[in-house]
């Protein structure tokens, strides 16, 4: 126990540092920022409560109310913080369900506390677990499983190495946080939670750096790294918006940003299940398909999706698109060059067609 208490100042300083970094961070999503802030702040107070419960156990009877309160707050908040943090990772999509779960847990928790079935403080101010303490353990692990679910679902946005890391981090959190549950004298939970939160924070920053902030799809840097490892039968699609500068000049940059976001959503909705989508320039996008799979059909679906998104807008967008399949012994530069050349050929043909129509009129 003494060794554990030596770590407390370090844990508290680490939590304060992470709170500062969270507040000042401008890169992670707003929902994740809220989740990290709540988690780090809550963990700060839970750690203080755990220290109080250790110091006050078997102390003077006058400290019994504080001893009880420190245990009450620590047990109550731990699963709730895990649920709220997991919900923030999922961008609060399951917020209503999480709130219902928290309310149900709160009612059950207080019923167990009132009947001394979760824990109780005896007449000598000694802490004891109640007979139904396993119900709390089940609640805790349900919260952890929910966190693992949201973490693994979120990791799908990244690449294989990010998924592997998410699995590793999930296993570490689950295994390490189990130790104190089964061996109460081994104080591991707070250390595990703080280390896991810091790892989650670093992982979130790493994953956020893969994505374009405006459109939410993968960014140019990620594309340049990924395209170097093209494999046979993969397809590179390159597209850009025709006359985008004119749109910005006539309708304003705010509308231009809205157009980019809508285009990105259309790209992701059509191509997202078949490959990875990127914004590689101001109005230029790319898709890397995992394999050659009905590309022309996907392109037609994409054109319909774009037309649908802009049918009630003040202007109708047109896009030029080209693609190239990676053949055996192809370099990635050759594949990109072909796709780029096909895209510019499509743009030239479109301009030539428009010129012909104007001359005819």
Shared domain check, 131 and 262: no
Task: Tell me, yes or no, whether 213 lies in a domain.
Answer: no
Q: Please give the pLDDT value at position 357.
A: 42
Residues 181 and 294 in one domain: no
Q: Which domain holds residue 311?
A: 220-360
User: Does residue 148 lie within any of the structural domains?
Assistant: yes
For residues 138 and 240, membership in a common domain is answered with no
Percent of the chain with pLDDT over 70: 94
| Domain match, 143 and 250 both | no
Give yes or no: residues 328 and 235 share one domain.
yes
Give Cβ neighbours of residue 90 (< 8 Å, ≥ 6 apart): 150, 153, 154
* pLDDT digit string, tens, across residues 325-356: 999 888 999 999 999 999 999 888 877 665 54
Q: What Rg, from alpha-carbon coordinates, does the chain have?
A: 27
Q: Which of 187, 208, 229 is the last residue of a domain?
A: 208
Domain boundary among 144, 174, 208: 208
The pLDDT, as a whole number, for residue 195 is: 86
pLDDT of 285 > 80? The answer is: yes
pLDDT of 226 over the 70 cut? yes
Residue 358 has pLDDT above 50, yes or no: no
User: pTM for this one?
Assistant: 0.75
Evaluate whether residue 51 is within a structural domain.
yes
User: 145: exposed, middle or buried (C-beta count within 10 Å: 0-12, 13-18, 19+)?
Assistant: middle
Q: Looking at the structure, tell me whether residues 29 and 171 fall in a common domain.
A: yes
How do the residues of the chain divide into helix, strand and coil, expressed in percent and rounded to 5?
Answer: 70, 10, 25
HSE, side-chain direction, 13 A CA sphere, residue 137: 16
Q: Does residue 242 sit within a domain?
A: yes
2 — pLDDT class (breaks 50, 70, 90): low
147-151, 165-169, 238-242: lowest mean pLDDT where? Answer: 165-169
Give the pair of three-digit tokens for residue 64. 């019994």
With respect to residue 215, please indicate whether it lies within any of the assigned structural domains: no
| pLDDT of res. 3 | 65
Show which of 208, 232, 266 is a domain's final residue: 208
Q: Supply the mean pLDDT for the chain.
A: 87
In the predicted structure, residue 308 carries a pLDDT above the cut 90: no
State the total domains in the chain: 2
pLDDT of residue 253: 87
User: Is there a domain that residue 286 lies in?
Assistant: yes
Q: Residue 242 belongs to a domain with what CATH number? A: 3.30.70.270
Q: What is the tens place of the pLDDT at every residue in 177-207?
A: 777 777 777 777 788 888 888 888 888 888 7
Lowest mean pLDDT among 32-36, 194-198, 207-211: 207-211
Residue 107, pLDDT score = 97
pLDDT in tens, 60-107: 999 999 999 999 999 999 999 999 998 988 878 888 999 999 999 999
Same domain, 133 and 181: yes
Q: What is the pLDDT of residue 68?
A: 96
Please give the residue that has the higher pLDDT: either 307 or 357: 307
Domain-embedded: residue 289: yes
As a whole number, mean pLDDT of residues 34-60 equals 92
Domain co-membership, 19 together with 164: yes
Phi, psi angles (nearest 5°) of residue 287: -135, 135
Given a cut of 90, whether residue 235 has pLDDT beyond it is yes
The CATH number that applies at residue 50 is 1.20.1070
Clarify whether residues 134 and 263 are in a common domain: no
* Predicted pLDDT of residue 25: 87
Q: Are residues 21 and 150 part of one domain?
A: yes
Question: Residue 214 domain-assigned?
Answer: no
Is the domain of 185 the same as that of 226?
Answer: no
Same domain as 238, residue 106: no
157 has pLDDT over 70? no
């Amino acid at each position: 126990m003494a060794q554990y208490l030596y770590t407390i100042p370090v844990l508290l300083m680490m939590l304060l540092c992470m709170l500062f970094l969270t507040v000042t961070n401008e890169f992670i999503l707003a929902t994740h920022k809220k989740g990290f802030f709540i988690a780090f702040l809550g963990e700060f107070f839970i750690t203080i409560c755990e220290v109080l419960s250790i110091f006050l156990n078997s102390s003077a009877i006058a400290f019994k109310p504080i001893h009880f309160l420190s245990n009450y707050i620590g047990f109550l908040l731990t699963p709730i913080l895990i649920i709220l943090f997991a919900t923030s990772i999922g961008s609060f999509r399951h917020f209503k369900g999480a709130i219902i779960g928290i309310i149900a847990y709160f009612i059950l928790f207080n019923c167990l506390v009132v009947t001394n079935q979760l824990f109780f403080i005896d007449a000598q101010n000694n802490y004891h677990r109640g007979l139904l303490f396993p119900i709390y353990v089940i609640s805790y692990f349900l919260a952890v499983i929910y966190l693992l679910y949201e973490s693994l679902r979120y990791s799908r946005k990244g690449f294989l190495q990010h998924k592997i890391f998410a699995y590793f981090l999930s296993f570490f959190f689950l295994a390490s946080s189990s130790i104190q549950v089964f061996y109460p004298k081994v104080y591991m939970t707070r250390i595990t939670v703080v280390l896991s939160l810091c790892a989650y924070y670093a992982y979130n920053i790493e994953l956020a750096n893969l994505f374009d902030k405006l459109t939410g799809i993968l960014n140019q840097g990620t594309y340049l790294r990924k395209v170097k490892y093209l494999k046979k039968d993969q397809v590179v699609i390159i597209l850009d918006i025709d006359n985008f500068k004119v749109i910005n000049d006539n309708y304003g940059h705010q509308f231009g940003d809205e157009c980019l976001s809508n285009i990105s959503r259309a790209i992701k909705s059509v191509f997202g299940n078949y490959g990875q989508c990127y914004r590689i320039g101001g109005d230029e996008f790319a898709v890397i398909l995992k394999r050659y799979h009905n590309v022309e059909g996907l392109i037609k679906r994409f054109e319909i999706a774009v037309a649908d998104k802009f049918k009630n807008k003040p202007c109708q967008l047109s896009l030029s698109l080209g693609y190239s399949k990676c053949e055996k012994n192809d370099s990635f530069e050759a594949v990109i060059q072909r796709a780029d050349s096909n895209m510019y050929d499509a743009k030239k043909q479109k301009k030539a067609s428009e010129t012909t129509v104007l001359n005819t009129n």
